[in-house]
Structure 1
Amino acid sequence: MDQGMETRKSSESEEVDDKKWVYDSSVDHKGRVPLRASTGVWKASLFIIVMDFSERLSYFGIATNLITYLTKAIHQDLKTAAKNVNYWAGVTTMMPLIGGFLADAYIGRFSTVLISSIIYLLGLSLLTMSHLIPSLKPCDMNPCHKPRKVHEVVFFLAMYLISVGTGGHKPALESFGADQFDDNHSEERKKKMSYFNWWNFGLCCGLLLGVTVIVYLQDYVSWGVADIVLSAVMASTTIIFFVGKPFYRYRVPEGSPLTPMLQVLVAAMTKRNLPYPSNPAQLYEVPKSQKTQGRFLCHTNKLKFLDKAAILEDNEDKENCLIGKQHRPWKLATVSQVEEMKLVLNMVPIWLTSLTFGLCMAQASTFFIKQSSTMNRKISRDFEIPPASIYSLTALGMIISVCIYDRILVPLLRSATGEERGIKILQRIGIGMVFSVLSMAVSALVERKRLRVAERELTQGGRTGSISMSVFWLAPQYMILGLGDGFTLVGLQEYFYDQVPDSMRSLGIAFYLSVIGVSSFLSSLLITIVDHVTEKGGRSWFGKDLNKSRLDNFYWLLAAMNGVNLCVYVFLARRYSYKNVRRGSESMA
């Protein structure tokens, strides 16, 4: 796609009486036709949310049942299958760091979504062929005891093509949707806060259908039929997204957002021996007339060593400042650039303390589902729900949480606290972390009960197959985790979009996704360490037979880790400084 499409006009006169947006057919200095606005920001967002619905339908339809496929079709043991699921989930949620960077710096968000959607569709098509083409099928026999090597190669190639597609799709699409709302327009700024809630509502709808309809097709019809449905939905929503092209607002890629940060570090190190000015107002900032995209940030007193990058060192710098001449970027940075660097550094502790929440999420798509496969899943005499469909309760919990928060809590909290969001973003994230501790504690209690039932019925009673304990005993832990997702996951999305510099918002969404990705890798590492330690102690917590494993102890370990982490997070959140944008003629000090 033409990179020139990625442009957006300033919002100096965007407020009109009827709050509707109008077209502006003027042409900018590069000959591009910028879109001032559409008939409504929600109309543009609807096309984008539909696109995300499709991607989440595919992702969760594949991810939640992946451990079942690896253990039953490819015949991997539980530990290997869980690690492979975590590796794939980790790569899938780390790839957005690359996709987000390219979207912000060079390709543009709209173009990145289209390109990644095509790659995603290629992965789904290859996955379909691995189940339908006779020479690529796992094997000719049913049941299949030893799958063909070519099937494994094609299967994992398709899976990691989907990872690459997700890498560009997720960060660019979500940030592109948020770009439709103007930060300088008070009403739209409030709508954008709701946008993240309703974005996740659409996500949960895709998740629900993925873990019910798609998983049912996989388990009781055919994996190939399920993949055909996913490919068709992805193709149709890609067309719908493209049809919405006239309604979108675009942003011009400004080159690598990491270069200005490196310039700040180099300038600060070069001037490290200079005395700090007595008044922060003496630090350098360009006139507003020279600012093209992005906003001016207020000076803060944290990480003051970086402020030296904005000190006017010699007469040449001062003369250039007076006459409005371009400054030397590797020698002199602006206050806004310095503050953007501070924003990114301040995010690191929050990112690190979010990882244990991701560890809990990783269990929902691995061990939780494997537990459900050993339990009674019958709804009636003739109908049995697929093991992965129990995951839908997480989406249900998240939908309930998001709706109550957006429709009830936010208006009440706005009146009570005066905060535009109701409560601060980090407070919302912290509330969700409390739910993660509760979820792991409940998981441990339920698993202990399941083990007692399994021992009584299978070991002592001689029963075969699943135990009589209903799969809906897992409902509380899924629901609690879903309620926590409605606070923490949505909060993390808003946090990493809102608190990063304006020029790297796709990369900000990628930072949020990397929390889940790194957590998946950490989950695999934790499983390996715990397996090694407990095996030396006599019996591994992760045996080949789930009914002889001790997942309850593992869940208690995660609950304890999350409890300690929550204390650290609260300590950091109470001292956090949020992005502070200068408006009008505010001073720097």
Structure 2
Amino acid sequence: MATPMHSKEPAPVFNTEISEEMQDDNEKWVLDSSVDNKGNVPLRASTGAWKAALFIIAIEFGERLSFFGISTNLMMYLTKVLHEELKTAAKTVNYWSGVTTMLPLLGGFIADAYLGRFSTILFSVFIYTAGLGLLILSQLAPALKPCTDIDGPCHGSLRLHKIVFFVALYLISIGTGGHRPSLESFGADQFDDDHPHEKMKKMSYFNWWNFGLCSGLMLGVTVIVYIEDNISFWVSYVVLSVIMGIALSIFLLGRPFYRYRVPQGSTLTPIMRVFAAAVRKRHLPYPANTQELYEVSNSFSEKRRLSHTNQFRFLDKAAIIEHTNNEKHMNPWRLATVTQVEELKLIINIIPIWLATIPFGISIAQSSTFFLKQCAVMDRRLTSSFEIPPASVFSLGAIGMIVCVTMYDRILVPFFRRLTGNQRGISVLQRIGVGIAMVVIAMVIAAIVEAKRLSIAHEDQSKVVPMSVFWLVPQFVILGFGDGFSLVGLQEYFYDQVPDSMRSLGIAFYLSVIGAANFLSSLLITVVDYVTRRGGGTSWFAKDLNKSRLDKFFWLLAAMDAVNVVIYILVARRHSYKSVQSRVGIANSSDGDGDDEDELSPSRV
């Protein structure tokens, strides 16, 4: 019989005291490896959360206003000023958009590994501003100004103007490539995942981030595009440069409130080490108990530990401890921690979701190309003296997205939270799936409306079809709703589901969905054009839009999207989320899906 001296009663009391002390520290300090403006552990009360995020959203507002003020009218500029054919202009826009949304992979890597997110943002804004300056030069320098006679032959400065113009555009692409992944992840970094209240606020962050984004987009495609169409392009570029300067000043004012993440070196090296260690120990048997796998002790100063999962078990061999006293077997190229192994599994795990959202991105790409060309040949008169610029109709999608994210955050999340008991309302992959399904509806409507437009065009035979541009409202708005579900969901998913050290790269993965989709959209246009012209047939993408068959192309996209919905559901049902061990020992957390979430019936590990 045990005596009181040997009793284990005092141990729980001691652990409770430690836990309370840890909780108090977690309330006062931010213990997620971030630092404040002076390099110290941040005070929770004076840094981060919305007091910092609002400054970050402000510069995103300015950058998106600038970007969409240029990009949305690009299709019109290429066809009317640079005299490119419809299919050529569409492919040019898709290539540029593709590069712009693929470069964040490089920018995100540099931010995570070397420069840090804040420094990357500053460098990127300077490059972006240089691109705007070159655009101004291309419109004002006499030797670089484009031809103004649209109907007649264009000689002289057109070739040189094209060179300078596209150099400026791709400087903006480079600036965007560093700016977007760094800024969005920097904003999300202001919310501590290990603090319950801040984690709840973070669930709204991506919604309000996109609210700011769409607000900038709306002003870009209305006010800026109006200036481009009715005053001059150089005036619009000057305005955009001033706006970027103001946005940068606001961003710098927030420096005392920000939480910063110190770059930890190449994020690819740990991944390569896990592969190397797993291959070297491929012949070792799996341990009978996964607790025997190697892991370092957790502490406040270390990154969050990940729980072991049973998927991709071959990689677990990297964490097997070899029974030897030889120190070379403790080499990081021979032995990895469970957390490092699980981080590699996370990267592998997101690939199917990335692939399954590509068709969605291809359909989204049409809103800035063929949808806008439809606007250009339809009746855009609001009054007898005012006509809506074609690119301004793009704002309908932004309105749809603003309405969607507002309703989602303020109405749908509270409703589904009560209904399901899940903090997120519906899971992040369910949210993405709803948006993908909406895109199917949008493309069906687009096909029907285009068929109607073509029937009127064949009867009327006029260049501008006597059909109101407001017939395009449903396809733009529904596409905007789809963006509000899928694009916001993708941002949150890729930020949460990558390793903590790769979160700028995670946002870049989301952007690369759109980038890859733009390249594939160009490829699809090329293939469809070749197939439809073969044997003397008429291309679906004729120079005259009234002789094209965009309705058939939209039906093709709708069919592709419908098949993709089925594929996406199958992929999402097999998905497993990141399982995190909380630093403060309160509870385990699972990033991206809440605590008790059932994600389209995913397998849980």
By how many angstroms is 1:500 displaced? 0.3
Partner of 1:333: 336
Match of 1:61 in 2: 69
Equivalent in the alignment of 1:477: 475
Change (3 A) 1:40 1:514: closer
1:561 corresponds in structure 2 to 560
Assess, with a 3 A threshold, how the Cα gap between structure 1 residues 293 and 224 changes in structure 2: closer, same or farther.
Answer: farther
What does 1:247-396 align with in structure 2 at a 5 Å threshold? Answer: 247-289=257-299, 292-316=301-325, 327-396=330-399
Q: Structure 1 pair 293/71, CA: closer, same or farther in 2 (3 Å)?
A: farther
Secondary structure at the aligned position of 2:284 is classed as coil
Counterpart of 2:125?
117
- 1:205 deviates by 0.1
Instruction: Tell whether 2:34 aligns with 1:36.
Output: no
Q: Secondary structure at the match of 2:579?
A: coil
Tell me, yes or no, if structure 1 residue 578 matches structure 2 residue 577: yes
Give the 5 Å matches for 1:55-454.
55-139=63-147, 145-146=153-154, 148-289=158-299, 292-316=301-325, 327-454=330-457
8 Å contact 2:57–2:209 — kept in the other structure?
yes
Q: Which residue of 2 aligns with 1:505?
A: 503
Match of 1:5 in 2: none
How many residues align structurally? Answer: 560
Amino acid at match of 2:43: R
Q: Give the ranges of 4+ consecutive aligned residues of structure 1 lying more than 6 Å apart after TM superposition.
A: 21-24, 585-589
User: 1:36 is aligned with what amino acid?
Assistant: L
Letter in 1 for 2:180: K
> What whole-Å deviation, never above 9, does each CA across 1:164-194 have from its counterpart, x for those lacking one?
0000000000000000000000010010110
In the alignment, is the contact (CA less than 8 A) between 1:75 and 1:145 conserved in 2?
no
SS at match of 2:147: coil
Return closer, same or farther for 1:380/1:560 CA change in 2, 3 Å cut-off. same
CA distance in 2: counterparts of 1:534 and 1:43, whole angstroms = 56
* Cα contact 1:70–1:76 (8 A) shared by 2: yes
Paired letter, 1:305: F
Corresponding position of 2:521: 523
Relative to structure 1, the CA distance from residue 404 to residue 567 in structure 2 (aligned partners, 3 Å threshold; closer, same or farther) is: same
Give the Cα–Cα distance (whole angstroms) in 1 for the partners of residues 397 and 577 of structure 2: 30
User: What is the CA distance between 1:315 and its match in structure 2?
Assistant: 2.6
1:179-235 per-position Cα deviation (integer Å, ceiling 9, x unaligned) = 000000001001011000000000000010011001111111101111111111011
Structure 1 residue 326 displacement after superposition: 11
> Structure 1 514/144 Cα, relative in aligned 2: closer, same or farther at 3 Å?
farther
**What is the CA–CA distance in structure 1 between the aligned matches of 2:148 and 2:406, rounded to whole Å?**
48
| Deviation at residue 302 of structure 1 after TM alignment | 0.8
1:8 is matched with: none
| Equivalent in the alignment of 1:4 | none
Cα offsets for 1:36-90 (capped at 9, x unmatched): 3435621111110000001111111111110100000000010111010001000
- Structure 1 CA distance for aligned equivalents of residues 530 and 472 of structure 2: 28
Output the CA distance in 1 between the equivalents of 2:402 and 2:269: 40
Contact 1:174 1:509 in 2 (8 A): yes
Residue 6 of structure 1 aligns with which residue?
none
Larger deviation, residues 280-289 vs 348-357: 280-289
Displacement after TM superposition at 1:575 (Å): 1.1
- Residue 314 of structure 1: CA displacement? 2.0
Output the CA distance in 1 between the equivalents of 2:468 and 2:509.
38
Say if 1:281 and 1:587, in contact at 8 Å, map to a contact too. no
Q: Which amino acid aligns with 2:573?
A: R
Once the two structures are TM-superposed, the CA of residue 587 in structure 1 deviates from its matched residue by 10
1:328-384 deviation per Cα after TM superposition (whole angstroms, max 9, x unaligned): 210011111111111110100100011011101110000000011000000001000
Contact 1:35 1:250 in 2 (8 A): no
Q: Distance in 1 between matches of 2:212 and 2:153?
A: 39
Q: Which moved more, 1:279-288 or 1:373-382?
A: 279-288
CA distance in 1, matches of 2:23, 2:351: 34
Give the drift of 1:566. 1.0
Q: Distance in 1 between matches of 2:190 and 2:448?
A: 45
Q: Secondary structure at the match of 1:469?
A: strand
CA distance in 2, matches of 1:352, 1:167: 21
- In 2, Cα distance between equivalents of 1:208 and 1:401: 15
CA distance in 2, matches of 1:240, 1:85: 31
User: C-alpha separation between the residues in 2 aligned to 1:58 and 1:41?
Assistant: 26
Whole-Å Cα distance in 2 between the matches of residues 413 and 140 of structure 1? 56
Q: Distance in 2 between matches of 1:55 and 1:65?
A: 16
Q: Could you tell me the TM-score, scaled by structure 2's length?
A: 0.89
**Cα–Cα, structure 1 residues 32 and 144, in superposed 2: closer, same or farther, change >3 Å?**
farther
User: Residues of 2 paired with 1:126 and 1:43: CA distance?
Assistant: 35
1:411 Cα offset (Å):
1.1
Contact 1:47–1:240 (CA under 8 A) maintained in structure 2: yes
- The 2-side partners of 1:14 and 1:143 are apart by 72
TM-score, normalised via structure 1 length: 0.92
The amino acid across from 2:495 in the alignment is Y
